[in-house]
Each structure stands twice: as C-alpha cells, then as structure tokens.
Amino acid sequence: MMARLEEEGIREVGDYQSQKPLELGEQDGVMVVRAHGVSPQRRTYLKSLGMKFQDATCPDVGIIAGKVKLHANKGYQVVIFGDPEHPEVIGILGYATQGGHVIRGEDDIAALPELGEKVCLVSQSTMFVDEFQRLATLLQNRFPEAVVIDTICGATRERQSDIINLIGQGVEAIVVVGGRHSANTIKLAKLVEKQGLPAFHVESPDELDLSCLSRYSAVGLTAGASTPDFLIQAVREKLEAA
C-alpha cells in the first residue's frame, strides 16, 4: 500500500512521534497526520514547519484524546489499556497532563503506584472488548472510585462480533485482510485463533494460499478497519473463483 501511495507522491517522513527535527526537504508540500494521531506537543511542532497542515486523526482517536484531556484537567491520573509503543497510545499520553500509565495485563495493574482516588481508565481504540472489561474490573478492585470509559471504537467491536458470528455460521477458517503491522488486523487474527480456528492474515490476494484453503469447506472473510475496500474485494473475488 505504501508503494502505491509513493507512486502518487505521498511519502512517510520519519518518526513524527519523536521530538527530533524532520528532514522534509520540501517546504511547499502538505504535512498529513495519520489516523493514529500525535501528541499536542508534536502537533504544535509539525504546524511550526511552515507546510500546509492536514490532520487526518481518526475521529474515534480524537474522542479518546479529548476524554483524557478533560479528566486530566480535573486532576485524574489516566490509565490507558493498550500497547505502550503504539503511535495511538503515545499520542494520547500527551494529553494526560497529570501523568499517564499504560497497562497491557493484570501484572501491570499490580505494578501501578498508588494513584489516589481520582483514576480514569480508557482504552486504545483497537483492543479486545473482553480484555478491557476484565482489566476494568481488576483496576476497580484496586481503585474502587476509578472512572471507566470504554473507548474501543465501533468498527473494532463490529469486526470482533462479525468473527464470532462467522464461527457460529460454521466456517472452518477465516481470512483476515490487512497490513502486516496493523494493530487491529493482528488482533482480529488472534481472536480467530483464540476461538480455535485457523486464521490466514494476508495483505493482498497474491498472498492467499489457495491450496491450503481448499482443505476447508467454508472459509470466512474479514478485514482490519483501515484496509481499503478494493483490497477486500480483490481477496473476496479470488476466494470465490477458487
């Protein structure tokens, strides 16, 4: 997908989550912030570069950032369920002015310092719904007054629900279409495997192993939230033609 964008004159300009200067080369271009968003400090820096600025942050991510900022301004310690190295989480942490903490599992909750009574829990938008609910309960066991805000996005919920529905319909395997490094696509593939079915994570129809898939009488198809429709359709057509 990046190769296709580069053919149209779109390129990635380094790690824009870091604080190091960007080597842009061209000041007459357009700076676009991708869907994961950036911290407010980073946004200020990017705007200072003098390029035309377009913020393509996902609205759901923007809502999470707004909730974090609101509660941080009220004196809450913010806890985020997610991957501490994911760009979305890094960006959202920038709004936790009173300090932010990232948890991935039960051990991380136990390792949290004493945060007082004002604690707020949110989630990275693409996490597992059941894991968030479980960890929310554990967090409230330790911090009974903790405010829990379920910020898993609707698209993620729908896709996780779709997988359960596909399995209920009797599929024997599921093809998941999406970027190799896409967090929500990876989680969908893991959810399939958690349910006991084989998952085939592909980025394009060229990666389909039809000889392997032919062993299954019914194969389901799903895709990550950011997967382009034309890729999903291409994979579907190749599966149906097999």
- Residue ranges covered by each domain of the chain: 59-148, 154-241
Q: State the pLDDT at residue 146.
A: 98
Average pLDDT, integer, range 36-44: 92
The CA-atom distances, in angstroms, between 1 and each of 17, 94, 188, 198 are 21, 29, 20, 25
Closest Cα to residue 169, out of 223, 96, 218?
218
Chain segment 84-133, per-residue pLDDT in tens: 999 999 999 999 987 799 999 999 999 999 999 999 999 999 999 999 99
- CATH says 154-241 is which class? alpha beta
Predicted confidence (pLDDT) at residue 66 exceeds the cutoff of 60: yes
Q: State the pLDDT at residue 62.
A: 97
Q: Is 207 a catalytic residue?
A: no
Chain segment 127-167, per-residue pLDDT in tens: 999 999 999 999 999 999 999 999 999 989 999 999 999 99
Which residues are registered as beta bridge partners of 32?
A: 54
Q: State the pLDDT at residue 157.
A: 93
Q: Check 6, 26, 88, 117 and give the catalytic one.
A: 88
Q: State the pLDDT at residue 45.
A: 86
Which pairs count as long-range contacts for 188-192, CB under 8 Å and 24+ apart, including other chains?
A: 188/159, 188/160, 188/163, 188/222, 188/224, 191/128, 191/160, 191/163, 192/163
Average pLDDT, integer, range 199-210: 96
The CA-atom distances, in angstroms, between 155 and each of 58, 60, 106, 129, 184 are 12, 10, 26, 12, 10
Q: State the pLDDT at residue 27.
A: 65
- Round to whole Å and give the CA distance between 31 and 12: 10
Q: State the pLDDT at residue 10.
A: 75
Q: State the pLDDT at residue 128.
A: 93
Q: State the pLDDT at residue 181.
A: 87
Same fold, 59-148 and 154-241: yes
Length of the chain: 242
DSSP run (H or E) holding 63: helix 59-73
Contact 180, 203 (CB under 8 A): yes
Which fold is adopted by the domain 59-148?
Cobalt-precorrin-4 Transmethylase; domain 1 (3.40.1010)
Closest Cα to residue 242, out of 198, 202, 221, 211?
211
Q: In what order do the strands lie in the sheet with 199-202?
A: 199-202, 173-177, 219-223
Residue type, 119: V
Q: State the pLDDT at residue 26.
A: 59
Name the residue with higher pLDDT: 27 or 48. 48
Average pLDDT, integer, range 179-189: 91
Q: State the pLDDT at residue 50.
A: 79
